[in-house]
Amino acid sequence: MTNPAEATLVSRKVVLHFPRQLVDQPIVCNMVKKYDLEFNILRANVTQNEEGLLVLGLRGAEAAVDEAMKYLSDLGVKVQALAQDIVLNEARCTNCGACVVICPTGALALDPATRKVNFYNEKCILCELCIKACPPRAMEVHF
Ligand code: SF4
Ligand code: SF4
């Protein structure tokens, strides 16, 4: 393993998708110990089909962070890099509901009273599935 004192330190945000069979295992805890990383849980969620979703901030030696991501992938955790924020552009939104169906966390929901789609930022785990699903490109990635 690389000595952090001699290495380039990097901070990285990642979205981790844990399959159902891995949700209860202390994988993140083991990973940060093994690769000597600092971490911060930014968001955590379990979806309807019991997949675990975790948005993590990581800091450590660049090579160690890369090795840690490979460690997760080898265990069956899907790793997605993250460096942005998601915004619903209401001026563009036609309230078609396509994003509501695809959003894994309920961050996009149809209000039955107004028939408008609302975005609950605090539930968003920045997976970007809604970006491709939105026909008028009303879901935007902001840096
Ligand atoms: S990025 Fe879009 S699809 Fe993913 S959680 Fe956020 S609102 Fe839902
Ligand atoms: S898919 Fe796009 S246009 Fe349709 S409700 Fe969602 S944000 Fe609005």
Give, in degrees to the nearest 5, the angle at Cα 90 between 82 and 41. 25
- Closest alpha carbon to 42 in 21, 15, 62, 66: 15
The residue whose two tokens read 């396509």 is 98
Domain boundaries, the chain: 4-82, 85-142
The pTM assigned to this predicted structure is 0.57
Tell me which residues have their CB closer than 6 angstroms to ligand 1. 86, 102-103, 105, 107-108, 124-130
Q: What SS3 state is found at 112? A: coil
One fold for 4-82 and 85-142: yes
Domain 85-142 listed as CATH 3.30.70.20: yes
pLDDT tens-digit series, residues 52-111: 988 898 889 989 999 999 999 999 999 987 756 788 999 999 999 999 999 988 999 999
Nearest atom within ligand 1 for CA of residue 139: 2
* Fold category of 4-82 in CATH: Alpha-Beta Plaits (3.30.70)
* Closest C-alpha to ligand 1, atom 8: 103
- Whole-angstrom distance, CA of residue 18 vs CA of residue 53: 6
- Whole-angstrom distance, CA of residue 136 vs CA of residue 40: 34
Q: What SS3 state is found at 37? A: coil
